[in-house]
């Protein structure tokens, strides 16, 4: 039996866009670690025996191997380091790598530092950079950027599942309004207002059925997460650690159109699945994580989640892929607001990508950190009020998602 993997701390810089005065990535990493040390005073940088860097695109950073700048700046010469890159699932994949390092027994205290600097180019150029993670030979030159691919998938999914534009708009409203209680969230720092379904419906068209307020934010941000063995967790943070009880990682095609009739999925889940509508890699990685964590009924066994709401539509699709609802119940599941803070399985109480922001390499770490804060009882000190605190949570899910669903990871975290 492999060793338990624990999370004992973590922090992000504020997520933002444009001039803030705190733009350097190495400075941001240092500040995230300093905040973690305030929460976990017994943790010393000298205890780290591996640092994993989580960063998506050097196009945004105008620097190859930028992790070398950060590592050097942190004074960690001699410590092993490498970078993980896996699209939007970079953060989840880095956590997966850190967990493997602990489970194997090779490492005891692993830091993960993630970041993205998406405001180094214009918004439309940024969209095009991200779209370079689609198959540029076939998709980029025909007007393709990610919101358009997601819209084409969501349009069909919504019709098949009888989910309306207004239904998914409630997800945007939920997450952006949750972010209004989170001072590090980009929505809190910039737009800073509570919104309604009408605001979403009236926002400008991005790609039908997705409007501007159905979209996550392009961001600059850095995050740090501290992962370790249980022995170390008990030593330095015995009262506030959580265990990674389940994890799964799965993959799907780069071009969404290649999911039709794909023999790999047909064998696993039967013909017709996932089509261009379902996130099969989410279902598959969730099944792995549930099995490992002994989750039989996710709706009953999981208390809340921080999931990859790059678009309001994708959060809805993820509910289904996680097994929280099926084609008959998904529309009602959304309309009953089951995932609001008053619901039975709150999703993205920290604001999610729609509210907190989406600096790609830091995103999955941000989701994990918010999940950790909830389980460790730290929301009152991290958010502005207890409004966004989940009531007495024992088990949370973290979901990280790349491409058009091309790589997806899920983690089950439990309060110790």
Partner 1 sequence: MVETVVVKNKKEKFADIPVFSEKKEYRPYGVQETGLAFVGHEISEDRSSMNQFLHYDQLYTIRHGWNSKFFIGLLDGKIMGTRCPKCGDSWVPVRTHCWNLNCNLQKTEWMEMPLTAKVHTWTVAGWSGRSSLKRLPIILVYANIGTSKVAMANELHGLDPWDVEFGMPLKIVFKPKEQRIGAVNDFHFEPADSWEPLPMNPEKERIKKLVEPVYEWVKTLK
Contact residues: partner 1, CB under 8 A: 19, 21, 23, 62, 122, 124-125, 127-128, 131, 135, 137-145, 147-149, 151-153, 155-156, 159, 165, 204-211, 255-264, 276-277
Please say which residue, 114 or 147, places its beta carbon nearer to partner 1: 147
Tokens for 300, please give them: 């009953």
CB 362 within 8 A of CB 11: no
Least Å from the CB of residue 34 to partner 1: 20
Least spacing, CB of residue 21 vs partner 1, in Å: 5
**Pick 201 or 384: Cβ nearer partner 1:** 201
Closest distance of CB 334 from partner 1, Å: 19
Question: 205 in helix, strand or coil?
Answer: strand
Backbone angles phi, psi at 305, to 5 degrees: -155, 160
Q: Which helix (H) or strand (E) holds 16?
A: none
Between 120 and 329, CB nearer to partner 1: 120
> How far apart (Å, rounded) are the C-alpha atoms in residues 394 and 414?
6
For the CB of residue 134, give the shortest distance to partner 1 in the complex, in Å.
Answer: 9
Contacts of residue 211, Cβ cutoff 8 Å, sequence gap at least 6: 200, 201, 202, 203, 204, 205
The per-residue DSSP string of 53-110 comes to: EEE--HHHHTSSSTHHHHHHHTT-TTS-EEEE-BTBTHHHHHHHHHHHHHHHTS-SEE
Cα–Cα dist 287/269, whole Å: 12
Longest dimension (CA), the chain: 56
Residue (40 or 276) nearer to partner 1, CB? 276
Least distance to partner 1, CB of residue 116, Å: 17
- Rounded least distance, CB 77 to partner 1, Å: 27
- Compute, in degrees rounded to 10, the torsion defined by CA atoms 133, 315, 346, 96: -30
Pairwise CA distance, residues 367 & 358, whole Å: 10
Question: Which residues pair with residue 407 across a beta bridge?
Answer: 251, 402
CB of 276 to partner 1, least distance (A): 6
CB closer to partner 1, 221 vs 346:
221
Choice between 150 and 290, CB closer to partner 1: 150
**Shorter beta-carbon distance to partner 1: residue 200 or 347:** 200
Sign for the pseudo-dihedral over CA of 332, 333, 337, 342: positive
**Pick 75 or 264: Cβ nearer partner 1:** 264
Nearer to partner 1 (CB atom), residue 107 or residue 220: 220
Q: Element (H or E) spanning 21, and its range?
A: none
| Phi, psi of 413, rounded to the nearest 5 degrees | -110, 135
What percent of the chain is helix, strand and coil (3-state, nearest 5)?
Answer: 45, 20, 40
Q: Which token pair is 105?
A: 């027994």
Nearest distance, CB of residue 314 and partner 1, angstroms: 14
Q: Report the nearest approach of partner 1 to the CB of residue 69 (Å).
A: 15
């Amino acid at each position: 039996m492999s060793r338990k993997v624990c999370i004992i701390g973590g922090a992000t810089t504020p997520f933002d866009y444009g001039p803030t005065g705190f733009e350097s990535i190495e400075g941001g990493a240092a500040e995230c670690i300093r905040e973690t040390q305030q929460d976990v005073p017994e943790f010393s940088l000298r205890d780290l025996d591996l640092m994993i860097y989580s960063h998506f695109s050097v196009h945004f950073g105008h620097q190859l191997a930028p992790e070398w700048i950060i590592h050097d700046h942190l004074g960690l010469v001699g410590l092993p380091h490498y970078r993980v890159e896996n699209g939007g699932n970079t953060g989840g994949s880095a956590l997966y790598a850190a967990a493997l390092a602990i489970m194997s027994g090779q490492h005891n205290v692993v830091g993960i530092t993630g970041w993205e600097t998406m405001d180094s180019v214009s918004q439309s150029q940024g969209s095009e950079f991200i779209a370079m993670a689609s198959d540029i030979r076939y998709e980029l030159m025909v007007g393709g950027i990610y919101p358009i691919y997601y819209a084409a998938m969501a349009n069909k999914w919504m019709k098949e599942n009888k989910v309306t534009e207004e239904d998914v708009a409630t997800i945007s409203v939920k997450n952006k309004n949750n972010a209004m209680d989170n001072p590090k969230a980009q929505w809190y720092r910039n737009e800073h207002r509570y919104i309604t379904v009408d605001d979403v419906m009236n926002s400008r068209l991005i790609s039908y059925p997705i409007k501007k307020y159905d979209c996550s934010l392009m961001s600059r941000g850095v995050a740090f997460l501290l992962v370790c063995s249980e022995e170390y967790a008990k030593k330095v943070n015995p009262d506030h650690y959580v265990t990674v009880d389940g994890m799964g990682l799965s993959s799907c095609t780069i071009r969404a159109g290649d999911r039709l009739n794909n023999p790999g999925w047909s064998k696993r889940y039967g013909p017709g699945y996932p089509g261009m509508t379902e996130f099969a890699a989410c279902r598959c990685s969730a099944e792995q994580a549930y099995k490992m964590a002994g989750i039989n009924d996710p709706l009953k066994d999981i208390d809340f989640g921080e999931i990859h709401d790059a678009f309001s539509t994708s959060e809805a699709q993820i509910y289904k892929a996680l097994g929280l609802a099926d084609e008959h119940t998904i529309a009602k599941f959304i309309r009953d607001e089951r995932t609001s803070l008053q619901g039975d399985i709150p999703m993205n109480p920290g604001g999610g990508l729609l509210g907190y922001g989406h600096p790609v390499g830091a995103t999955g770490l941000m989701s994990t950190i918010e999940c950790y804060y909830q389980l460790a009882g730290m929301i009152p000190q991290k958010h502005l009020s207890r409004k966004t605190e989940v009531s007495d949570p024992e088990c949370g899910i973290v979901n990280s998602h790349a491409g058009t669903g091309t790589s997806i990871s899920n983690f089950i975290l439990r309060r110790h």
